[in-house]
Structures are given as structure tokens and as C-alpha cells.
Chain A
Amino acid sequence: MSDYENYLKGSPLEVKVITRRIGIPNSASIGVFLQNDGYKALTKALSMKPDEVINEVKNSGLRGRGGAGFNTGMKWSFVPKQSAKPKYVVCNADESEPGTCKDRPLIEFDPHQLIEGIAIAGYAIQSNQGYIYVRGEYRYLLDILDRALEEAYARGYLGKNILSSGFNYDIATHTGAGAYECGEETALLNSLEGLRGYPRVKPPFPAVVGLYGGPTVVNNVETLSNVPSILLNGAEWYSKLGSPKNGGTRLFCLSGHINRPGVYELPMGFPLRRIIEEVGGGIPGGKKLKCVIPGGSSCPVLLPEEIDTPMDFDSLAKIGSMLGSGGVVIMDEDTCMVKAALRISKFYAHESCGWCIPCREGTSWLKTLLTRLHGGAGVPEDPDTALDVAFNILGKTLCPLGDAAALPVISILKKFRHEFEEHVKLGGCPYERKEATVS
């Protein structure tokens, strides 16, 4: 078990849609779920035509919460109606993007909401089998899900002829074993087929050729958890919760140098400054903000003068960053940005699957170069070389992991170049160990 409650502190500014049951004792049990309009949405969905369900989700403006932010209903609509091979819904619970820990509470405290969302997605694309791919480290969540699935089968919300609608649906869990890349949808499918988690060449996209060669929808936990509420309250209600083309609410994970770290459900488009200052209660010790990662470690960092931005996919794209997976990582004035870049590079080098050259060689080059530079053995060319290496990775890899590795480093190198040069000059790190003294 986790001591998760510790940091689901909640905030008056929250708009609770998918977290509304969290806090109710035994919220994970089907009993509590049913008392709080559980499986009503599925019942309703089964009374609609599959296409009506897809349109409802499309019009709600729900966009993928896994990172890419693609319109979910649109994605479902790409699945061919007729298919010789079985269709699948795969829930991506591989949550591994540094700074991201939102899918965890959703599964821990409201697994049935997710199961209901998956079943509805399955009905919408006329699939009969769903899988939940859970990262290996989340073993206790696997147990929670298995228990919830048992309950759902026992009550007839899964299995044959659900609610005597004639619709059959099965869901099974699947554990990963430690690989960030397996969160990438095509690598995930290979992993689910028992292969090494290498990405697939696209096109064809999973919606057409996915798991076992059948049409497959891959959606994030948070994405699917939103589906029941959309069906219950309607597309219009949901889209109004957020900002234009960015329907609904979003879970933000506040971490790093912040007074009230935690997972908060806020309307799409909520201003970043208010997230830091009001929701998160500002920076410990009244220190100044140095920069913030808005959506997980693969997003370019934002400077203090850039935080007056609405937190939605389009607004962040406009200022050259991304909403990503909602991991908001705050760094105060005493943070060594070389160290930050180094640690992020170390992660991507460790997680590169090694299939394609620029990612395999580029990420470890960045890691070793920045290690040397931060360690005091830097040379004046290093900042330029690092920038070059990152640009040589960018846009040239088979899957987006390469970009995920390059973008943050590029943004840090551009926005904090002086810190890199200072390391070269001093032959060492002026901030050494400061970041360790917090907390």
C-alpha cells in the first residue's frame, strides 16, 4: 500500500469530476461505486448506438491525457466498423513520465470508474476484449484492479450479455516489468504481445492495425476515467468545464519545490501562475521561482515570465511547450539547471529501447557529456555540442522518445546557457548539493 492520502490534500479551487469519489471510505469497492452513480453511464451507453457514444465523446472535446492530447472521440472514430480480426481497447496504465503520478490515485481509489470507461469505449468501437497495461512497479494497483474486475464480473457489468444488452465484454490486467518506452502506444502493443518493447513503424496506426493485428484503441487511464461522466452529463456540460477545444478538467501533479505537492483536479485552461501560487501554496522558504516543467519531464521548461499561461494543450503549444501528462515540476532559484538537464538525460538514456540509432547513441552521448560537464571536466564547446546532439536527435527517431529526450535539454540549454558556461569556467558545480538540502 502507499501513503497516498498524505498528499491528496485537496484544494478549494478544484473542480472534482473524476476524483469526486476519492475520499469516500472504501471508494474502490463496487458497493460505494454503485451508491455514487457507478455503472449508470455504461447502462446509458448500452442504450445508445455505438456511433452516438463516439460522437458524444468527440463533441465533449476530451483530449488524450497520456501526453499527445489527441481528440479521443476522433481516435475512436478511426477504428474500422468491419474488421476480420478482433478489435481491442488497451488502457495505458504505464505511467512513467517523470513528474507524473495521477493515474495511480485514479486506479487506487476508483478502479471501477476506469473499468466502466473501458467497457464504454469497447462498446463504442464494438470490441469484446480490453486490457489494462499496468507498469510493473504498480503491483498493488494490479491487485486492486483484479479485485475490482472480479466484482464487476460478479455483478454482471462485465462478461457475457452485459445488462442483457447482448453486448459481451472482457477485461484483463497485464503487468509490465520496468520500461518507460512501453508507455509509447506501439511499443506497449509489442510488449503486450510478449515481445521486447520496441515501437512499430507508423502508419499503420493502432486504430487500424494494433494488438494481434486487430484495430485497437489505446487510451490513458485518466482519459478513460473521464468517459463515464461525459456520458452521464453530456458532451456540452463537459466541454464547458474546460477551455475552447480542451474539454473538461485535468489532473495536475505538483512536485518539486512547492509547499503543497499533490494531485489536483482543475479545469482545463487554469492559469499556471495560480496553480503554483494558490493551489500549490508557493515555493518553500519564500524562494524565487527559477523555472517550471509544465507537463512532465519531456516538456520544455518555462521561465517565471512565461507562467501567465492557461494550462491547456493549445495555449502551451503556443509558447513552445506542452501540457503533456500534467506533471508540473517546480524548480526554485537554487536549482542547478545543469544537474536538472543531466538527470533528465540520464533517464532517457536509461529508457531508450535502443532500436534506432539517434535515440540509442544520442541519449547516452548527452548523458555522458552532461555528466562530465557537471562533474567539472567541461570544455567551452560542450554547450554547443550538447545543443547540436539534441537537435540531431530531434525529429529523427522512430518514436517520440527521442523528442522527449531532446526538447527539455534544448530548452534548458537555451534558457540557462550561462549556467553551463559557468560550470565550464569554475570546473565544477556552483550549486553542488544545494538541491539536496530542501525538505
Chain B
Amino acid sequence: MPDQVASAPPTTVNLTIDGKSVSVPPGTLLIEAAKQSAIDIPSFCYYPGLALQGACRMCVVLIEKMPKLQTACTTVVTNGMVVHTANEEVKNARKAMLEFLLTNHPLDCPVCDKGGECELQDMVFTYGAAETRFLETKHHEEEKKFSNLVYYDRPRCILCYRCIRVCDEGMDVNAFGIGFRGGHSEIIPNQGEKLECEECGMCIDICPVGALTSGTYRYKTRPWELTYTGTICNHCGDGCKTTLSIRNNEIIRANNRDHSGINGEFLCAKGRFGWDFVNNENRVTAPRIRRDGKQEESTWEEALGTTVARLNDVITRHGANSVAVIGSNHTTNEENYLLSRFARTVLGTNNIDHHRTADFSSLVTALTQSHAVDRHATMQDLGEASSILLIGNNPTPQHPLLAYQIRQAVRQHRARLYIVNSADIKLRRQASLYVQVNPAGEGQALRALMGTQSPGPDMVVAGSASVGTLADELKAESDTIIIFGEEVRGETIGDLVRWGLALPGLTRFIALGDYANSRGAADMGLLPGNLPGYAALSDADARRHFETVWGTKLATQPGHDLRGILGGIQNGEIKALMVFGSNPVKTFNFDRSALRSVEFLVVADLFSTETAEVADVFLPATSFAEKPGTVTNTCGQVQAVKRTMRKPGTRSDLEIILALARQFGHPWPYQSPDDVLREIITNVRGYSIALPTLLLGGAVATSPEGNPPRLEREDLIFSSHDSLFTSGTLSRYSHALNSVEESKRPHDHIF
């Protein structure tokens, strides 16, 4: 071929498909080349990103000078190739493949669970072969229940092996195999009759037909009876886009079949099945007021009125700083922003904090001081990274999407993964270097890595790679993404950032916080020492800015942090407590009798939690599915949550805060969450978000900037170490998550 004469390797390959001339990079598969020029070549087993199979033969095309039809999914384009994808021979071949598939496939689309969204059904519709000449009897086999969440129906299975590959290559769980041979071949689970896995359900969504179905959705409804809304999962801090399917005001399922969002097709068990807490029968739908020791249902007016009266009373008798506020890791940015404003301007106290699962403040401080505020890596960056350093945490259960992105980077982009951890975490399988430190030794190892401390003798466990080797290898890398969990906090983060920025290339960082809006809680200032956007109270300019925006003076004295608040409750200094979407009794295992001793406790939540049970006023709040707003994932990417349904009797935290403010005599001008968001955009540093992107379902990266007070005490930062099937208190109300056997396994169990 002429192009071989050329010395330099060609940068593009030119070929002809159905008369169109197409040029693509060398190494492109014919099926992709066609797609790029808007020519559709049908396929079942071909799936971008997964291993090639050449099994379904749907993608056969005619390539001139080739003796027989070729599969476009396995053919790499070459210069001068002339391809026909729509001539009679090709059309007949496709028809034939479909006819073959239908010989043993039930022809009962109207009752099949997949009817209406089945690739085989669509294929037959588009390419023909509906009427079959098959007079023989079809193989019959009973449907199998692989687990409470995954069912398998062999007769419907077309053996495209997508499920197997997504489980092996995507999830690294390897739970599926193939049993028997020839026409008797079938997909088999790893535990005899049963499946033991992460229950992510990826196999269900990727199945083109009705072979694998969801235990929580199957035969409940028909796709065309549903309305779909894309929103953000409310569990972990990764922020997966999930499409909720709603039928008469009830969520029926969640999936991400359109591959939109930062997670593409990915969803973990929590994202796909764990939303059902929303429908849980224990949702509280009427306010409650404690009367002579017992909580009784009340009206919203009464509950809000009582709250304002009691708080006013405490403030007049003991002063504003006798009141404290605990915010949430799950509520929206708009709500957190208003809560911060409420505490400081309405109540007049800086006693506000939340359960901090990562030390975002120290990361922002360090980046600000190094003039590198834009060095936050996004989820997408991670998926394409070439070098990753992971310190602490166990992303597989705690950050399933992040773990998936790391595996993608390693598998698709041959990224090197460096791990420093005290546990034998699953991502070790992808690691090119694994430094196993002694329990809680991450910080120490890190300081040794940075040379701020000499490596202790027994710092790494026997047989582990040395910190020295790690240092050398990292110096040889570039554009490393550094990810760290609770183990790294306070000053260590400062050192890490300065050291990391000195590495070759564009080093970026991710701090791992547990929940859907852990990052947003910090960014929006649910902290005692700073206003929204890490604007330190001590920073006069920053403070004045918000004083003008909010039209009130602000106290400069930092308030109590969460441990301080709990201490204050114990020593009687804190007389009234407001808790929004948080369960400190459980999280901090705080003594309930002490909590009872406060003069007034108001709790806004979805369920009557350990904390809520002792409240004087309980305000039933709406869930993520019932209100609009934005949340910020652990990488600092802002995304919109949408109202998909209503829960009569409940009110959003935003509505609650606005109502309280009004009754306190602060008629704030906000008409809607959007008004609050606009205020955030103009006043929170690093949050100048492009609204259209957000409204179109995009994720907008932020680059907060500020000099908040240094970490008050290390024990403020701790993760709840959730498993694949838990997320703090919420998951206790998910029947689906609790229904799987695997949820009874120890948290660090590897599947």
C-alpha cells in the first residue's frame, strides 16, 4: 500500500464507507469509524470500552477484496478500504442473525419486562426478520433468581456476554461465568445457584434484552408509563447522575441508561437500588411537638411558631451563643448557605458545624496559599489520569464511582496507581505500587514520603514496598492526581499540597468526603470559623462583603466546633440546639440524656432518628427526590438535584429556614432556591457557575479560595466508613439494600 512508503506513520487513515469518504486515526475500529460518519452498524456484543467478542455477527459488512463478509467490530480500518454496510448481502445477513436469535427467544414482548426498551426488539423492528420459519419447539428453562436484586431468564439471553465483561472489566468483581456448551450455553453465577457480588446491577442495565432483570423493578410497570428525571444520587460523595423513573408520585427505579453525567453508565448498589428510603413507610409526614414528655403530631404553623418562641426565649435569657446549629451532609448548597446565614444573622451565633468527613478547609487553605486554587481534579480527570496516588480510604465501598474511575484509568489508559494504606484494600489489584503501613500510619508514612519526617523502622509492614521507592517512582511521573481520605488532615494537608505541587507536571488533588453534599456543607460555611466560601470571620474584607450582602453586622468570634457544641451541651453552656439532617447521637455516639437536658432541641429530618426521638420539635423534611437545588461532590463539582415527586406533609429545609427567618422578623427576599443559587454564584469565591451548564445536567467544577481558621482539633475529621450497602442513617431505611445477603458482610469484605 502506498502509505507504507511514507516514512512517518500516518496520522489519519482514509477509507470509504457507503460512498462517503471517512478519515479516522489509525487503529480505529471500522464500527467506530462508521459511527463517526453517522453510519449505523448494528451490534449486540460490541460495547465501547469492553473487550471485543466477535460473537453476535450483527455487524457484518462487505469490504471490497475480502472473500466473505467481515465483522466491523473486529476490523481495524486501513487506508483505501472500501466498505458497504447496506447492500443486499449485508442486509440479508443481519436478517439471518436476527432470525437465528429469535428461534429460541420467546416472542412475548408485550409481557416481557424489557418490552419497549429492548435492543433486540428495536433491531428486529429496524432490520426485519419478524416472521420466523422456525417450526421446532424452543428450549424452555425456568427463570433463575441470582439474588434478591438480579434475576436471569436464559431463553431471553442472547449471549452477548456484556454482563460478564462489565462485571469483570468494569467492576473487577468477576461474578459471572458461562455454563455448558453450544445451544445449552448460559450465564452462570459464581456461587452455584446464587450470585455473590457488589450488587451494583450494572449487568441489568447493560443487558440488551430482558435476560437480566432488577428484583426491585421487574414486572412492576411498563417503561412508557413512567416519567424520567435526571438527578443526583443522595448517598456517597461522588455525585453520580441517576435517572429516577416515576409513576404516580412514586419512584419505581433508578438507572443511568443514557450514560449522561460524570458517571457514564456507572451506578453502584446504593445509586441503583438505595433510593427506596424515600418511599419508606417510616417517613415522618407531620410535624411533632413534645408535650409532657411525649411527641405528638401538630400543624406546621404550631411547630414553627413553637420553635421561634422557644429559641427567642433561650436567646433573651442566655444570649445568642447559648444556641448552636448542626447542619447536614445531605442537604443542598442553597439550604446550607441559608442555614449558615440563619445561624449568624438571625440567631446571631457562629456555633455552627457539621459532621466533617474530610478536611476540605485545610485543602482550600493550602491551595490558596500556593496560588493553585484550580488544582482540584474532577471525576472525569481521574478516569483519564496517567498517575494516581491514593492515601488512605477504601474507595471500593466508600467511593464506588471514584474507584470505578481509577480502574478505568488503569485499564483504558494504563495509568499507574500508587497506594498508601494500612488495610489490604481491593484497589490493590490495580496498584503498580502498594505501600502497606501499620494501622493509622498513613500520616506518618506521608510525612516520610515528603521528607518532613525520617521513615520509622517499622513504619511499613513486612514485605511491603518502601516509602523510598514510592518517592522515586512519583518523581518520575507527571500530572499525578493525589487522593486522600480522613487519614490526612490539618497541617499534613498543607505539606502534602506543597510537596505535591513540586512534583512534575500538573498535580491535582481530591479529598474524600463521605456524603452527597459533604463538600457543599464545608463550601457553604457550615463551620464555626468561616462564612460561605471559606471566608474567615477574622478576614475583615471578606466579613464586610457578607455584612453588606446580608445587611447585618457579623460576630468576629469563631463559634464552637461540633465537639465544642457537644461539650457545651454537657456542661450546660449550650441551652438550645437546632439539628438539620444529621444524627449526632449516632455519629458521635453522644449521650442522649445529655441531649435531653438542653432547654430546646429542634430536629429537621426524614425519619425519627436517635437524635430526633428526643427533640422538642420535629420538623419532617423532604428528601433529595422531592426538592430542587444543587450539591457539590467530593471533587468540588456542582450538580443539580431535581424535584421528581412530592411528599405531602413534608417541607424542604430551605422552606423551613425561610419560614423560621420570616417569623424571627427577617423577611428574606428569596422566592426560590434559584435566587439563593444566584447569590451563591456572585458571593461565594470559586462558585461562579455557568447556570446553563448546570440546568442542562452538567457538572461544574469549582475552585474555592480562602484562609479559614486552621483545623481546631484532629478528631473533628472522621469518616463513617460506609460499606457498599450503607450510607449513614439513610440506608437503614432502604429495604433493597438491606435485602441482599452481602449487606450482612463485614464492611471491608471484598467481593
A–B contact at 8 Å CB threshold (below): yes
Which residues from chain A sit less than 8 Å from chain B, CB to CB?
Answer: 179, 196, 201, 349-358, 360-365, 368-369, 372, 379, 381, 385, 388, 392, 395-398
Closest to B178 in A: A196
User: For residue A352, which residues in chain B have a CB less than 8 angstroms away from its CB?
Assistant: 181-183
Q: How far is the CA of A362 from the CA of B96 in the complex (A)?
A: 10
B182 CB contact (under 8 Å) in A353, A369, A395: A353
Q: Is the CB of B57 within 8 A of A361?
A: no
Q: Is the CB of A361 within 8 A of B100?
A: yes
A357 CB contact (under 8 Å) in B100, B180, B184: B100
Q: How far is the CA of A360 from the CA of B52 in the complex (A)?
A: 18
Q: Is the CB of B136 within 8 A of A357?
A: no
Whether B419 sits at the interface, judged by CB under 8 Å, is no
Interface residues of B in 100-138 (CB under 8 A from A): 100-101, 103-104, 133-137
Q: Is the CB of A356 within 8 A of B54?
A: yes
User: For residue A368, which residues in chain B have a CB less than 8 angstroms away from its CB?
Assistant: 136-137
Given A372-B135, A395-B69, A358-B183 contact (CB < 8 Å): no
CB 8 Å contact bits of B135-159 with A (1 = contact, 0 = none): 1110000000000000000000011
Q: How far is the CA of A101 from the CA of B180 in the complex (A)?
A: 27
Q: How far is the CA of A267 from the CA of B98 in the complex (A)?
A: 47
Given A357-B100, A369-B136, A396-B60 contact (CB < 8 Å): yes
Q: In angstroms, how far is the closest chain B Cβ from the Cβ of A186?
A: 11
Interface residues of B in 17-60 (CB under 8 A from A): 52-58, 60
User: For residue A196, which residues in chain B have a CB less than 8 angstroms away from its CB?
Assistant: 178, 181
Given A365-B103, A365-B136, A360-B182 contact (CB < 8 Å): yes
User: For residue A398, which residues in chain B have a CB less than 8 angstroms away from its CB?
Assistant: 54-55, 57
Q: Secondary structure at chain B's binding surface: helix, strand, loop or mixed?
A: loop
Q: How far is the CA of A396 from the CA of B54 in the complex (A)?
A: 11
29 contacts between A and B (CB under 8 A): A196-B178, A196-B181, A351-B182, A352-B181, A354-B180, A354-B181, A354-B184, A354-B185, A355-B53, A355-B159, A356-B54, A357-B58, A357-B97, A358-B57, A361-B101, A361-B103, A361-B104, A364-B183, A369-B136, A372-B135, A379-B135, A392-B99, A395-B68, A396-B57, A396-B68, A396-B69, A396-B93, A396-B97, A398-B55
Q: In angstroms, how far is the closest chain B Cβ from the Cβ of A219?
A: 24
Given A369-B136, A396-B60, A396-B93, A361-B178 contact (CB < 8 Å): no
Q: How far is the CA of A170 from the CA of B415 in the complex (A)?
A: 38
Q: Is the CB of B185 within 8 A of A397?
A: no
Q: How far is the CA of A402 from the CA of B401 in the complex (A)?
A: 42
User: For residue B183, which residues in chain A have a CB less than 8 angstroms away from its CB?
Assistant: 349, 352, 354, 360-361, 363-364
Whether B74 sits at the interface, judged by CB under 8 Å, is yes
Q: How far is the CA of A352 from the CA of B180 in the complex (A)?
A: 11
User: For residue B180, which residues in chain A have a CB less than 8 angstroms away from its CB?
Assistant: 354
Q: Is the CB of A353 within 8 A of B136?
A: no
User: For residue A358, which residues in chain B have a CB less than 8 angstroms away from its CB?
Assistant: 57, 96-97, 100
CB 8 Å contact bits of B232-263 with A (1 = contact, 0 = none): 00000000000000000000000000000000
Closest to B56 in A: A357
User: For residue A395, which residues in chain B have a CB less than 8 angstroms away from its CB?
Assistant: 68-69
Q: How far is the CA of A357 from the CA of B209 in the complex (A)?
A: 15
Q: In angstroms, how far is the closest chain B Cβ from the Cβ of A166?
A: 37
Q: How far is the CA of A354 from the CA of B104 in the complex (A)?
A: 13
User: For residue B100, which residues in chain A have a CB less than 8 angstroms away from its CB?
Assistant: 357-358, 360-362, 365, 392
Q: How far is the CA of A363 from the CA of B185 in the complex (A)?
A: 14
User: For residue B97, which residues in chain A have a CB less than 8 angstroms away from its CB?
Assistant: 357-358, 396
Q: In angstroms, how far is the closest chain A Cβ from the Cβ of B31?
A: 13
Q: In angstroms, how far is the closest chain B Cβ from the Cβ of A317?
A: 13
Closest to B134 in A: A365
B136, B178, B182 — which one has the most chain A CB atoms within 10 A of its CB? B182
Closest to B67 in A: A395
Given A357-B57, A362-B100, A368-B136, 15 other A-B residues pairs in contact with their CB atoms under 8 A: A349-B182, A354-B180, A354-B183, A354-B184, A355-B159, A357-B97, A357-B158, A357-B159, A360-B100, A360-B159, A363-B183, A368-B137, A381-B133, A395-B69, A396-B93
Q: How far is the CA of A363 from the CA of B100 in the complex (A)?
A: 10
Closest to A368 in B: B136
Q: How many residues belonging to B are interface residues under a CB distance threshold of 8 Å? A: 34
Closest to A377 in B: B135
Closest to A392 in B: B96
Q: How far is the CA of A179 from the CA of B181 in the complex (A)?
A: 10
User: For residue B136, which residues in chain A have a CB less than 8 angstroms away from its CB?
Assistant: 365, 368-369, 372
User: For residue B53, which residues in chain A have a CB less than 8 angstroms away from its CB?
Assistant: 355
Closest 6 CB pairs of A and B: A392-B96, A361-B100, A354-B185, A368-B136, A395-B68, A352-B182
Q: How far is the CA of A357 from the CA of B55 in the complex (A)?
A: 7
User: For residue A179, which residues in chain B have a CB less than 8 angstroms away from its CB?
Assistant: 181
User: For residue B96, which residues in chain A have a CB less than 8 angstroms away from its CB?
Assistant: 358, 392, 396
Q: Is the CB of B57 within 8 A of A355?
A: no
Q: How far is the CA of A106 from the CA of B58 in the complex (A)?
A: 43
Q: How far is the CA of A319 from the CA of B129 in the complex (A)?
A: 34
B54, B135, B183 — which one has the most chain A CB atoms within 10 A of its CB? B183
Q: How far is the CA of A87 from the CA of B3 in the complex (A)?
A: 31
Q: How far is the CA of A360 from the CA of B184 in the complex (A)?
A: 9
User: For residue A372, which residues in chain B have a CB less than 8 angstroms away from its CB?
Assistant: 135-136
Q: How far is the CA of A372 from the CA of B52 in the complex (A)?
A: 37
User: For residue A349, which residues in chain B have a CB less than 8 angstroms away from its CB?
Assistant: 182-183
Q: How far is the CA of A366 from the CA of B74 in the complex (A)?
A: 28
Q: How far is the CA of A369 from the CA of B134 in the complex (A)?
A: 9
User: For residue A361, which residues in chain B have a CB less than 8 angstroms away from its CB?
Assistant: 100-101, 103-104, 183
Q: How far is the CA of A314 from the CA of B137 in the complex (A)?
A: 42
B54, B134, B158 — which one has the most chain A CB atoms within 10 A of its CB? B54
User: For residue B104, which residues in chain A have a CB less than 8 angstroms away from its CB?
Assistant: 361
Q: Is the CB of B182 within 8 A of A354?
A: yes
Q: In angstroms, how far is the closest chain B Cβ from the Cβ of A50?
A: 27
Q: How far is the CA of A201 from the CA of B56 in the complex (A)?
A: 13
User: For residue A396, which residues in chain B have a CB less than 8 angstroms away from its CB?
Assistant: 57, 60, 68-69, 93, 96-97
A354 CB contact (under 8 Å) in B60, B133, B159: B159
Closest to B186 in A: A354
User: For residue B134, which residues in chain A have a CB less than 8 angstroms away from its CB?
Assistant: 365
Q: How far is the CA of A417 from the CA of B182 in the complex (A)?
A: 28
Q: How far is the CA of A392 from the CA of B89 in the complex (A)?
A: 10
Q: How far is the CA of A349 from the CA of B137 in the complex (A)?
A: 16
A360 CB contact (under 8 Å) in B60, B92, B135, B185: B185
Q: In angstroms, how far is the closest chain B Cβ from the Cβ of A15?
A: 35
Q: How far is the CA of A388 from the CA of B133 in the complex (A)?
A: 10
Q: Is the CB of A369 within 8 A of B181?
A: no
User: For residue B101, which residues in chain A have a CB less than 8 angstroms away from its CB?
Assistant: 357, 361
Q: How far is the CA of A223 from the CA of B594 in the complex (A)?
A: 89
B52, B99, B180, B181 — which one has the most chain A CB atoms within 10 A of its CB? B181
Q: How far is the CA of A141 from the CA of B38 in the complex (A)?
A: 57
User: For residue B137, which residues in chain A have a CB less than 8 angstroms away from its CB?
Assistant: 368
User: For residue A381, which residues in chain B have a CB less than 8 angstroms away from its CB?
Assistant: 133
User: For residue A354, which residues in chain B have a CB less than 8 angstroms away from its CB?
Assistant: 159, 180-185
B56 CB contact (under 8 Å) in A356, A379, A385: A356
Closest to B161 in A: A355
Q: How far is the CA of A358 from the CA of B44 in the complex (A)?
A: 13
Closest to A379 in B: B135
Closest to B104 in A: A361
Q: In angstroms, how far is the closest chain A Cβ from the Cβ of B85?
A: 15
Interface residues of B in 145-193 (CB under 8 A from A): 158-159, 178, 180-185
Q: In angstroms, how far is the closest chain A Cβ from the Cβ of B55?
A: 5
Q: In angstroms, how far is the closest chain B Cβ from the Cβ of A201?
A: 5
Closest to A197 in B: B181
Closest to B133 in A: A385
A364 CB contact (under 8 Å) in B57, B60, B69, B182: B182
Q: In angstroms, how far is the closest chain A Cβ from the Cβ of B139?
A: 9
Closest to B74 in A: A201
User: For residue B56, which residues in chain A have a CB less than 8 angstroms away from its CB?
Assistant: 356-357
User: For residue A353, which residues in chain B have a CB less than 8 angstroms away from its CB?
Assistant: 181-182
Q: How far is the CA of A433 from the CA of B410 in the complex (A)?
A: 63
Given A361-B103, A372-B136, A398-B55, A350-B182 contact (CB < 8 Å): yes
